[in-house]
Amino acid sequence: MLEADVRRRRLHNLVDLARTTRKWTRAQLAEALGRDPTKVYPESANPKADYLISLAKALEWPVGDVIEAVWGEDDPRARLNANKKGQSHAELVEQDRASAAQHWQQWNKHHVAGSHRDALATARGLFKAAHTDEYKAYASHLEAAALEGMGQYAKSAEVARRGLEYAAVSPRTRNALRAGLANAWYSMWELAPALGECEVVIAYYEKNPPDKRVDWKRRAFVRYVRGNVRRRLAVIEPDMADEHYARAIEDLNFASTVYEDLANELEDSSLLGIVNTCLGGVMEAEAELGKRNAANTIHEMLESTTAALGAEQPPVGDWLESWGWWSIFGSNMALRHLKGAEAQQVTKRFLNHGLVVAEQLDHWAMRERIFTLQLALHETLVGSTGFEIPFVLPGSQRRSVFGTIGRIPRFREQGWQILETAQFVETAEEVAR
């Protein structure tokens, strides 16, 4: 955490900025902040929430931006003093290259282990040490990826956008930032900007075919993201559903083929987990287009998911995540195509599987889908029966619902509805804790 005097200085600067931009007198500023004119500047470096809210209104900023401006870890003065030795550009590039190689080794170790907070600290260390646009942008890519792993999708998008603002950046790094940004938007259900970022990267690779594995992976990834964006858009834009589903199938099949080829070439079976996720998305889209029997597809997916998660050697990593997404795809179809008790039973089984996977992986985007579908199932039951059926959820979910509200703005309305209407029942084990 920054020293108190640094935070206090930043607060004072924001107060001065509000007064200057509004052209207020000291008395007018004090009235806006709810303070005595002799005490417009807070004595504490940790002011109360009501003061921050008033300051945000005076500045016409979001409250979160005020908090970031005061408590943010990056000190602009450090950037101004970054090159005091007068090194040449070539020397700075070489210094950055060596620093990036060292930091990447540490970052990748943390990333593979799922230690996203350590990966985040490593990426921020690289950013502070970097001098050139290329490595500032590269560090931003690593930081955004770590934040995405923590479910901090809005912050991930913000950091990726920061990286894209640097000018002298290679196409590979810029595409990495755009791909990560697209995925962050997709995770937050911001489908229009997600689609836009995907289109830019896909267009680049159509004109510049990949010649390295990292570029093939990125090309496959953005087709994977675009396919899933299209799959979601089919629900939001029913008049274009057929086109969206058809395009989703094309993208997901393309991604599946590339990932399967890479899995064979690299002898990396984890990539086949992504292939399995693509297959699940294709099955849902084909069922919605009438290319396969929906009821049969639902039960096939349920049997496969149940068998995989109940195996003696349960799946891990990308394979485990793929079965979580199969649970989501299956739930989507069950709510659309099944009726009565069968819809309730099948959807509950899918969602129970999905919740297990989401908890094991600490996957916030998957949690959002599960909670939203739980609410949809409850509303469907109430609507079909006309009875006020209790909405009962495990007590352990309350905290996760709160966390999801904070991470995915689009979920806030559904999240608060769940918290206000659900009966959270704690197990004996949870009570004992």
Q: How many helices (H) and strands (E) does the chain have?
A: 21, 2
The residues, any chain, with a CB within 8 Å of residue 388's CB and separated by 6 or more, are 382
Distance CA 319, CA 274 (A): 7
Q: Are 45 and 7 in contact (CB under 8 A)?
A: yes
3-state secondary structure of 404: helix
pLDDT at 79: 44
What is the pTM for the complete model shown? Answer: 0.84
Instruction: List the chain residues with pLDDT less than 70.
Output: 1-2, 73-87, 89, 427-433
One-letter amino acid of 353: H
**Tens of pLDDT along 288-331?**
999 999 999 999 999 999 999 999 999 999 999 999 999 999 99
**Tens of pLDDT along 234-276?**
999 999 999 999 999 999 999 999 999 999 999 999 999 999 9
pLDDT at 427: 64
Distance CA 209, CA 326 (A): 31
**Tens of pLDDT along 159-197?**
999 999 999 899 999 999 999 999 999 999 999 999 999
pLDDT at 384: 79
Q: Are 57 and 17 in contact (CB under 8 A)?
A: no
Alpha helices in 237-268 (DSSP H): 241-266
pLDDT at 90: 72
Angle at 278 between CA 275 and CA 283, to 5 degrees: 125
The residues, any chain, with a CB within 8 Å of residue 328's CB and separated by 6 or more, are 350, 354, 366, 369, 370, 373
pLDDT at 6: 84
pLDDT at 74: 54
CA 33 vs. chain centroid, Å, equals: 35
Domains, the chain: 4-75 (1.10.260.40), 100-189 (1.25.40)
Q: What share of the chain is helix, strand, coil (3-state, %, to 5)?
A: 80, 0, 20
Neighbours of 78 (CB within 10 A): 9
3-state secondary structure of 377: helix
